[in-house]
Structures are given as C-alpha cells and as structure tokens.
Structure 1
Amino acid sequence: MGFEIWTIKTVVVMAVGVVTMLPSCIVESVGNSSSTELKLWDFEVKPSVTQTTLAVVYKEIDRLRREQATIRQQQEALKHMLSSQKKEFPMTIGSTALAPYPLTTQEIESWSSEDTDSMPNFDPCYRYTVLDQTWRATNTSTKHKMCDRNANWKGWYRLFYKGKSLQMPERCPPVDKCGTHAPLWLASSHPRRSDGIVSRRVCGHWKKQCCAFKSTPIKVKKCRGNYYVYQFVKPTSCHLAYCADVNTIVCGRCRRSESCVSRDKISWTCKRKKVIKRQVHFFAAIPTSITGKVNRIKYSSVTVNVGHAFNRKTFTFRAPVKGIYQFFFSTQTTSGGKTDLWLVVNGYWVSVSHTQVTSPSSVGSLRTYMTFLRRGGLVYVTQNCGNSWANAASSTIIFGGSLLSQ
C-alpha cells in the first residue's frame, strides 16, 4: 500500500497556472478605468496585482504542506497497523495470549478521506486488542468454567471466533454457555456509528433470569466496516464471562453500503442501507444593474430554492451533500468594453462568463459549469470588471444550479 505525496514544486506550478488564468481586465482596469471604477477597485481590493498573485501562490503552498503532513500521518498509521500482527503483548486473559488484530484489506479500503483525516491514535476502532477465544462462543459449553473477574482488562477489545469477526449477543444466551455459568450479554442494542462511544448495560443469565446478575456497564463503539469494539471491565462476581455471538459472524462480511440486521437476534443478514436522495435546485437573479468590481453579487430575487442550499443572506450556495453539481450564471452588457463574471468554487475562480461590446448595443452571455463538491463546498459569483444590465422585469443577471448525482 502506498501513497502519492506531491512535491511543493509541482503544486507551485499548478498554483501559478491558476493565477495566470486571471482575466486581463484586472490590469486594464487599473490603467484605463474611469475615476468611479478606480474608486470601487481600491475600496474592494487593497493589494496590488503582484501581491494578489503571490498571496494565491503562498496559500496553495501552505495548503499542500498541510496535505503532505496529513498523508504522511496516514501512511505511518497504516504501516503501524499492518505490522502490528507481528508484535506480541504480554497481556493474557484465561489461557489465551492477546495481540492487536490487523485490519482486513476490505476494512482499510472502506475508509474515506474524512475518516483518515480525523484518525487519532486513541480511536479504539484502530487501537484494540483481539479477543479470539473459542470458549466464549454462544454455542460452547466446557467443564472448566471461566470467570472474567480474574482477567486483567485493559483498553479496548474486538471479538473473534476462529479468526472471524463477530459481536456480543443482544439476546439472553442459555445458562452454562460461553464457557461459564452465567454468560454476559448486551442488555441493550449496539450503537450506530454516528453515536460514537456509548455506555451499555450488561446482564448475566442465571436460574431462568436473564438479568440475574447486573454487571458493571461497558463502553461500546461501532466502527466503519460493520464491527464493534468493547471496553470490557471486571464483572461483579464469578462465574461470569463475556459472550461472543456466533450468529453474528455474518455481520463481518457486510459491505460498507450494508447494515447487519436481525429480527430475532439469532439470524443475522446483511441488508443494503437506504440512501435518502436529496433534491437540490436553486435559481436566483438580481433586479438592478451593477458596475465595476463586485466581490460577491447579491442575488436578492430567489424564485427556486429546493433543499435550501442557497443562502439568501450571504448570496452563496453551500453543498448539502457530496456529489456532482451543475451551475449556470449569466450577464448582459449594454455599453462599450468588456464584462467578466466569474464562478468561484471554494475560493478558486473556475469559470468566466465573458462579454465584450465594441458599439452601443446589448450582448448577453450564459455560462455553465459542472463539478464535484464535498459536503460544505461553497460557491458564489463575482463580477470582476465591466457593466451588467438588469431591471425588475428581466432575468439577465442570474445564478442557479442543481445536484445531478449524489
């Protein structure tokens, strides 16, 4: 497994490439603008063209440095986990030695960039001890009864049965199973991944009472890859031991897009998650003309805003979900000179609607742009130079878009 780490030199070239795409009307506005236009320029943009160019380059360099550091941290974390199977720890429980269990290839591939970007060393999903003891299975009964009160519990654990991932039972197991007299089971349901770390009640079955022993609560967390980790503690008495439900082995085979479900808590199946498809559409216009440089056009007339992704106060669009979006924007020029409207995505000028009129006439320009956005991506329109005409009865200065694929 490897990573591509871009060099700073490569990205500086990319950053300069972005800067060179800035419209030529910036330079022309400084030299040839009227006094009114020059005043607006000075008020809105203080730094010079050279300073602006360098600022963009330095910003891109800084972003790349942070990205390089993040990738290096991810690489070191993955190398550490993949090599952890070669390490041995002196901790023992019963007669079985415990060692950190390596993550499977499917689990590693299921991580998204959001997971790896926020993966701390103390996250129990990546730092746990394997507990693979066949006597803990719900279908196992032994003459020698085990007691987890004698174990030295420390940290987080993940349950296995002969190398296959499973979880604690949510249904009362029979007495004298799980290698003990009173098997311990989870008296409440497992958490969802969005719940994070939760506290769950544990009960011990004895003398036809599923909760005859109310043991000390434990902490549980669901991890990406359909598995759980547990922070086990010493039970209240002997002979009690934590159970591993062999019926949930199927849960370890569920895909990222599936959930492990059961009606009777005995037969478990992988079921595809229901994805709620979002509808996102918006259409906005401005009922007045604008002149000169406007950092963010104030589209005050919003006629369509399905999904409420367009902010009527800031005049910006913020992506509510990760997906492919398509935007369109336009301008109408009625006097001599050029007019440039730019679509700005996450701080970068990515597409221009350009018009140039050499005689007293009216020319319109409509531009479309398709891009991939993560949740929270910010989009707006800026007029870099020129004159855009509109009135209350027209829709000549517009901005709109839709979510094409989630």
Structure 2
Amino acid sequence: MNILHVSAQRPDSTGSGIYLRETVGALESQGHRQAVVAGVGLGDASPFSDDILFEPVRFESDALPFPVVGMSDVMPYASTRYRDLTPQMASQFKDAFTKAFDHVFAQFKPDIVICHHLYLVCSVLADWFERHPEDRARCSFRGACHNTDLRQYESHGLEREAINRAVRSLDVIFALHGEQAKEIALMHGIDPAKVRVSGIGYNDALFVEDPSRRDDSGCRMVYVGKLWKQKGLMELFGAMDLLESRDTRDLCLELIGGYSNETERDEIMARAESCQVPSVFAGQMNQELVRNEYQRSDVFVLPSFSEGLPLVSVEALACGCKVVMTDLPGLREWFDMYIPDAPLWLVELPELIKDGSWRIANDESRARFERNLADALSEAIEAEHRPCDLSQLSWGALAQRLIAD
C-alpha cells in the first residue's frame, strides 16, 4: 500500500512529530511504501530512512521567511504562532505546501493520505484535491487529531471556514480518546461515525524496564515536557513543599525538556530553588537518554492543564514508573480501556481560565490542586512497584489502526 503523511510541523520534535515519525517507521517495517511532506527549518535533515520519499517544506527560506509554525503557542524550538500569521505569511504557507503536493503527487500515487493535525495544512491539501479530482478519487483522505489543532481552532479566527470545510471533507478522522472524538464531531459539525478512536503508540523495543538502573536508596521523580507554567510546574513545586518529611527523605525531581519563553523558564527555575525537594533541570534529551532516566526513576509526574493523550506517560509506564498526572478529559476512560492495571494516580484539575493559555482561576483553586497533587504524590511514592500490560499500544498496533478500512 502507498501511504502519504502530511504535517506542517517538524517531524522530529514534540509529541505529534514523534507520532508521525514512529508510525512511518512501523508501516515501513510492515512493507508499505511511504512519502512524507513536512515543515522543517532551512538546515534540517530528513529523520527518515532513504526508502521514504521525503518532501521538506523549508521555513526560514526565501519562500517562507519565518520559522516553522507551531501547533502550540510555545514550542521547544524557534517557531511562528499561527495567530501571528499575516495574510501575506498565510499565502506564502499555502503556496509552499501546494508546490510540495504538486511535486509529491507527480511521483507518488498514494492509496491513503494521513494529514497530521486538523488545521491549516489540511485545508491546503483539501483545496489541492478539489483541483485534482482524479487523485482525490483514488485515495482515502484521513486526518489525525493531536488536540493542539482543536485548541488553535477555537482560540483565534485564522482560516476557520477553510479549515472547517477541509475537516468535513475527510473520509476518516482519528481521535486520541472518546471525549476528543465527541469534541471533534461537535466542533466541526460532522457525523460522529466518521471519527475513530485510535489512541497513541509507543516504541516497545526502546521503552522497557531495566531493574539494574533503579536505585533503591531513594525515590526519584521525573517530569518530561516543556518548561512552561501551563504544564503545572509552579504548582508541582508547591505540592512538593506540602509533602511530609518522610516523603521528602531522599526524594529528588528531574525535569527534562526545553523551553521557548525565557522569562517563564527563569520563574520556574527560581521557584525550584526555594522548594524543599531538590530539582535538576536536564534540558532536552534524545529518546534513548529519556528512556534511561525513566528506568532510573520511581514516579513520573505530569501536572499539565491541557494535553491530548500524553505519550510520555505511556513510555514512563513501560519503563516501570508509577504515574501521577492531571485528570484531563478522556484520559480516565482511555486508561481504563487500554491499560486498566496501570499504577496511575489522576488528580482533579483546578478551576481554569483560558487567557491566551490556561491559568488557574483563583488562589483557593490553586491551593486545593496543590494539596490533591501532594496527596497523589505521597501515595505513589509509598506504593509498591507493579508492571502493567501495554501490549495494545505498540506503534505497530497504532499504525494498523490508521490504515484499517
């Protein structure tokens, strides 16, 4: 089968980039021919094997003289916010991706096209298909939602009609979980039957337990994600200050990830300095090094206010971590369906206000959230280690769901 993947973002960074890269790798191992159109920086190399036809759309170039667009307003690399695109920039974006589609379809005839993110590049591809009905007729046009696309769509008015029209033209839409599937259908006014829950996948060859790495002399916690207030990091330090002395004995926290807002990074690091639990800011790491840190750790924590379906939580579970995270919409149902035996503690979200990004509504809600987070961390720290069954969540299993009839 011939499969074309499309993304406006770099295919080697953030959760959706890893999702794209890993599903391409899984489908390649299953014998499918593939091509990828993706937005990259001027000097970025292909992250795919030579057998994958890679058509880069290069930002920071004469055709696109601005950094790669980011589905989140804060990305772990230099990026352009969609809300900041001028009409001229949006036109340049459309022209560049249209030319890439012209070039790819001239040499590659896909049976399935998977567009990652239900957003602007999806509308460009839908417009391209309208001008090439013979190509549209021969392939299944599918879209994979990664949650950030929905947040962009609802937060500002960029090309909303075109994006909505494109999403409605898709043959199949993949949602991360059931609550998101309902939201997609309602937001875009489409038949719920077109939306399938595909979930996420993880690299089951890389992310495995290694008991020899774990140090039983203390308790290590690890966070993986952007250094960003919306990830709940300020409240995480507040929660750790509420832990009883028996919990903080030999306890430490490692934070892995980059940043794009230097002011927020400095505030987060300053708050960490005053916390009773020592912290280490490790910066960005490749997947092998992240795996090593999971294997060394006892508890993975992600107190984020907004996520789709965080792959990092599954990777941490696979490496033997207990997981503490916020009870985001759809997560409890998804974990009950795919990993019912997971050592998982879900913490009720605080009352939130959307003001550019999510923030806690008031001090009372913040204090309650920090107390609940501290209680969950205490329970996880004291709990015995236990493995869980992740057999349904390999990248190969997910890739098969993406191309199923």
Task: Give the TM-score of the pair, scaled to structure 1.
Answer: 0.21
- Larger relative contact order (CA 8 Å, sep ≥ 6): 2
Higher strand proportion? 1
User: If the length of structure 2 is used for normalisation, what is the TM-score?
Assistant: 0.21
Q: Which has the larger Rg? A: 1
Q: Kindly indicate which of the two structures has a greater share of residues assigned to helix.
A: 2
